[in-house]
A and B are shown apart, each in its own frame.
Chain A
């Protein structure tokens, strides 16, 4: 499949139906964003696709892809918006703040080396105030805690065994901030007969996209491609537990980054639960579960919806006896990765999250499960509830 199938002239295909406007979480809560209809195909009649936006409002697009999903005409709305954004910031220049937010792996290393100092500093009111004033990182946004040892460090001390091999792309956040997710993933895969290997990997590059650094995102992608290619060419599939990293690799590496080899990798890279669902299809899934008496609610992250695989985590979790799991009816958590950290966007982020909070309150669960670390951060912040990755519950359920 080549790029020819991407519509050449998007404003031609747009029939101005405004369905995208009905789903956009940002234009729903702030008048400062004219909405996907204008930001994408509408603007394309006034400027060429890829030309710079006229104004910074374009940066209010969170990149949630929900507009793409509901467009009946196949207009790649969020991509058009992204290109206009990226060009705008390329001209204007990006701030130090954006550099800071887009290099989590650098800070991850630092943070995990000195976790207690880092964690107390980052969440100290004075430091938060300073970060707010100096770098416009909103003081209302809690920083995730760093952990030691990192997932990678832990894995070095772990010997993985299994009949078949599977490669795990764990992502920055799992490595330094939610090691337990990584460990649960390994546990579940091993319980299904897989030896887990960790291919050499770097940040997937998504935070760079989120701060409009297309070049930076490409750089990260190019760093990752060789080892990922080698992995799949040696007959080993890759799985990811973060739907954001996964979406980046499976889709954004091809579009808009146009990296050679991306398509090949995409065909052998799977969401963890998609992988498990495939096992279930072929009768090879380990379903030896103990009863878990938990009332949980599941939230499908935006990137998961865009992956087009349905909600496999929900399907697998429903196999666990005793587990009551409801799907949360809401569109977007509002964090948008780096979006919700930015001072000028924090209020918007929280307003979007309000709808999600209300939906969760209505279900009144003990815990919330979701595959994306950004959503987990946001839901914790919004509700104070226990928020886990579905794999952690699955790991607990295994006999």
Chain B
């Protein structure tokens, strides 16, 4: 299929969809291609922290200003993707109180509101905190549902005319002298091939920047950094809990619906894919974050995951933490002589909108048009207030109405109706994608029962029509990646149960006897 457009955006993370939305709001036609699902990269694998910027106030004031500004904008335009938890910066006996004073001054200097709390005050609002703490500083941190944020941007962009092609991989670029004339792409599910002819091309591929740029014969110096996170079975804190010290590993615990997320680490990586959380990282995270909340040592973990930060190497700076998390907009015309190619990289989840704004501004400049950005003013559609976790329990209330409610995921109380709506509304072609769009399988047993039920629903809706045991095995392998690093204690018991179900009762093995041998089955289906 041949497609013409003004802007081709490659990459469906927060930045990519943010650009699609920004351009669409400005009336500029665009196509976005993403080889996986939305937010397959760092946008879907981060801490979910709506920074107040306080963390960078001392070491990177410019970055801190960006954070607090975007923090406020996102609260306005995407309240339903955010939980306004507030945050604390906690000083422990081993932490330097001079840093704390510096911290307070720096926050003030960049306009981040703070309030110093005593030990008792802190413990009364967050009883799980380490009772040895000296003080805590309140800041306007929040928790953000990153996938939802990305998805909402994508949906808005589509509504305004952008064409988003998921599971579509860029296969080659057609360059002519100093311009990119066309891009070839292939849908990995249907096999359909596209030839896209854009006026401009944006590389928003995050950590995959060089895989993309290679197609144009270009390269940038990336300093990919893996960050691992652990999810606890229970929500230990109501507010984001940070360590008041120079930024380091294991400094932050972010609450998220029914769980808490412990993070993070910073390990140099060469790979954008195929990485995992190591046992050393698991130990480090538990040991460090338990200084903030001691019960982390005993609490049950349900999943480990990691993401790759797409950082750009700056000349002469050691240690990835020192690399600015500020973003970089690269005009390849100036740098490499390719007129219509732009790369946007680095940055944080919560500065996605600003990154998209700057990228869209540059495109407009190159196009010779003057249309201002309005993404900071226009709320995302569906921007109603988020509800609190406790009200989820209402789903258990018995109802004798005709509106049948069946709960598929017992741990996270996800209803069948919700899942079916998403299957229809999002027109999902890849069943695994459903798992990012609901809380199904995100609870205690991580899909032990509900993955089977999900499959049953897919069959009943005719979305899967033959033997789906390979699909089920795919779900289970995906799940395994997150489970394997935390298998001890209760999680190991859980795993015995899950293996007993899938390998035992259902006998799903790599080579289980298939029912579909010749002459098998019997009788036609009607």
Contact = CB atoms under 8 A, between A and B. Distances in A.
Direct contact of A and B (CB under 8 A): yes
Interface stretch (A4-12, A272-280, A338-346): A4-12
B444 A16 contact: yes
B493 A12 contact: no
A16 B494 contact: yes
A15 B501 CA distance: 13
A37 B396 CA distance: 12
Contacts of B295: 8-9
B396 A55 contact: yes
Interface stretch (A41-49, A137-145, A149-157, A365-373): A41-49
B445 A16 contact: yes
A55 B397 contact: yes
A57 interface: yes
Nearest to A30: B398
Interface string B467-501: 00000000000000000000000100110010000
A13 interface: yes
Interface string A1-35: 00000001101111111100000000000011110
Main secondary structure of the interface of A (DSSP, over half): loop
A372 to B, nearest CB: 29
Contact of A12 (B233, B396, B445, B448): B233
Interface string A67-110: 00000010000000000000000000000000000000000000
A11 B493 CA distance: 13
A33 B493 CA distance: 27
B393 to A, nearest CB: 4
Query: Majority SS of interface residues in chain B?
Result: loop
A31 B399 CA distance: 9
A32 B494 contact: no
A54 interface: yes
A45 B302 CA distance: 13
Contact of B235 (A8, A15, A45): A45
A33 B396 CA distance: 9
A32 B397 CA distance: 8
Given A16-B449, A57-B398, A37 B410 contact: yes
Interface in A126-169: none
A11 B444 contact: yes
A61 to B, nearest CB: 13
B2 interface: no
Contacts of B393: 43, 46-47, 53-55
A376 B392 CA distance: 41
Contact of B396 (A13, A44, A57): A57
28 contacts: A8-B298, A9-B298, A9-B300, A12-B300, A12-B490, A13-B490, A15-B444, A15-B445, A15-B493, A15-B494, A15-B497, A16-B410, A16-B411, A16-B444, A16-B445, A16-B448, A16-B494, A32-B398, A37-B410, A44-B234, A45-B233, A45-B443, A45-B444, A53-B393, A54-B391, A54-B396, A55-B398, A73-B493
Interface of A: 8-9, 11-18, 31-34, 37-38, 42-47, 51, 53-55, 57, 73
Report, nearest first, the 9 A-B pairs whose CB atoms are least far apart: A12-B300, A54-B393, A32-B398, A16-B445, A45-B258, A55-B397, A34-B396, A15-B494, A46-B393
